[in-house]
């Protein structure tokens, strides 16, 4: 019997969620919900689900095993708290929350209801980052990481609300990169960040450079820009370099992963497959959504713990908020101090 799921939020990116769930063995989306009935009807007709405009009514009627919350951040606390009372697993789109108080409230609501909480941080599920993570033992203990996400792809065409988001680069992609840094090198202790507003069309800051000190003593440099001209356009690739005691791993253009050790140089093709429903250049993102949702099935079947869980992502949110504070004050921010304040 398939695990029964419902989706809340039928926006642009949620279509990737629905296509991914269609590929997820052992699960199906039986109903969708959006405040806009036209959007709900469109998704329902396309994917063979029932349409709702009221999340509470849908959850009461459908009694799902899992709920995929794919709405914008302002609605997350209300919807996750509601979903926790009706499902065994709640999946929440990023950004997880706007404040640490909201994040903690969602984690607590799921714990009290006995529901698992998985945050949709799909960057860590991209095939090149999984390949890089798997190769880390070959270079010894990492002491330096660089992540670079720089492009000029028009992300505003399909998601126009992004042009009005404060701290755009940090809250839209920065938190993904902080999560990847934690996935690869471990927890982050402190952050120093400089942010820029480059595109005159947008309200928020659309570029940043962050230096992170890890608990392990490793250092990470993270750079992000939505206003960088490159030819060919690199979107949505993230470039990476990890230096360890005995070698270096470099993730370059076209998803080429290079391992450099005393034994020589080895090149690994880490390009994600193109889903049957996907299209380039989105295939890396689309495949990562599919991978995360396959992981969600494993979580529901008791074969895996959520990666990342709500509790884990709460600390990624703290790192992001620390970076925002650092960009405004010009000072490094201790993540533990910010967590104690929040």
255: helix, coil or strand? helix
Which 3-state string (H, E, C) describes 299-335?
A: HHCCCCCCCCEHHHHHHHHHHHHHHHHHHHHCCCEEH
Q: What is the pLDDT of residue 215?
A: 98
DSSP secondary structure, 179-229, as one string: HHHHHHH--EEEEEEEEE---TT-SS--EEEEEEEETTS-EEEEEEESS--
CA gap 157, 312 in Å, rounded: 32
Q: Phi-psi category of 59—alpha, beta or left, where left has phi over 0 and alpha has psi -120 to 50?
A: alpha
Q: What is the pLDDT of residue 159?
A: 87
Q: Where are the domains of the chain?
A: 3-120+294-308, 124-271+316-335
Q: From 3.50.50.100, 2.40.50.140, 3.30.360.10, 3.20.20.70, which CATH number describes the 124-271+316-335 domain?
A: 3.30.360.10
**Phi, psi for 143 (deg, rounded to 5):** -125, -5
| Pair 126, 272: CB distance under 8 Å | yes
Q: What is the pLDDT of residue 158?
A: 87
Q: What is the pLDDT of residue 81?
A: 98
CATH classification (class only), 3-120+294-308:
alpha beta
Give the model confidence (pLDDT) of 91-120 as tens digits: 999 999 999 999 999 999 999 999 999 999
Mean pLDDT by runs of 10 across the 342 residues of the chain is: 94 96 97 98 98 98 98 97 98 96 98 98 98 98 98 91 92 97 98 97 95 98 97 95 98 97 96 95 96 98 98 97 97 96 79
Spacing of C-alpha 285 from chain mean position: 10
* pTM, two decimal places: 0.96
């Amino acid at each position: 019997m398939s695990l029964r799921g419902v989706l809340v939020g039928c926006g642009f990116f949620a279509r990737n969620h629905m296509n991914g769930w269609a590929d997820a063995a052992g699960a199906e989306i039986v109903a969708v919900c959006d405040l806009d009935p036209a959007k709900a009807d469109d998704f329902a007709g396309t994917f063979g689900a029932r349409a709702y405009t009221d999340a509470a009514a849908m959850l009461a009627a459908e009694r799902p095993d899992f709920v995929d919350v794919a709405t914008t951040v302002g609605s997350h606390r209300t919807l996750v708290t509601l979903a926790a009372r009706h499902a065994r697993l709640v999946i929440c789109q990023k950004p997880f929350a706007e404040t640490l108080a909201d994040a903690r409230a969602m984690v607590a609501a799921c714990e009290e209801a006995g529901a698992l909480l998985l945050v949709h941080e799909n960057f860590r599920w991209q095939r090149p980052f999984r390949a890089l993570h798997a190769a880390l033992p070959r270079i010894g203990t990492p002491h330096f990481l660089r992540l670079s996400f720089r492009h000029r792809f028009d992300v505003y065409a399909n998601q126009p609300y992004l042009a009005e988001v404060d701290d755009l680069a940090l809250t839209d992609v920065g938190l993904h990169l902080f999560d990847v840094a934690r996935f690869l090198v471990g927890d982050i202790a402190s952050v120093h960040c400089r942010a820029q507003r480059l595109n005159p069309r947008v309200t928020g800051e659309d570029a940043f450079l962050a230096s992170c000190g890890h608990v392990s003593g490793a250092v990470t440099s993270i750079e992000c820009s939505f206003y960088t001209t490159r030819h060919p356009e690199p979107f949505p690739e993230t470039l990476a370099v990890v230096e360890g005691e005995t070698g270096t791993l470099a993730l370059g253009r076209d998803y080429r992963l290079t391992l450099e050790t005393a034994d020589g140089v080895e090149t690994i093709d880490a390009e994600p497959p193109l889903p049957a429903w996907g299209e380039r250049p989105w295939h890396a993102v689309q495949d990562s959504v599919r991978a995360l949702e396959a992981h969600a099935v494993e979580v529901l079947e008791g074969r895996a713990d959520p990666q990342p869980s709500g509790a884990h992502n709460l600390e990624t949110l703290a790192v992001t908020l620390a970076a925002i504070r650092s960009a405004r004050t010009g000072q490094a921010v201790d993540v533990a101090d910010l967590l104690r304040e929040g």
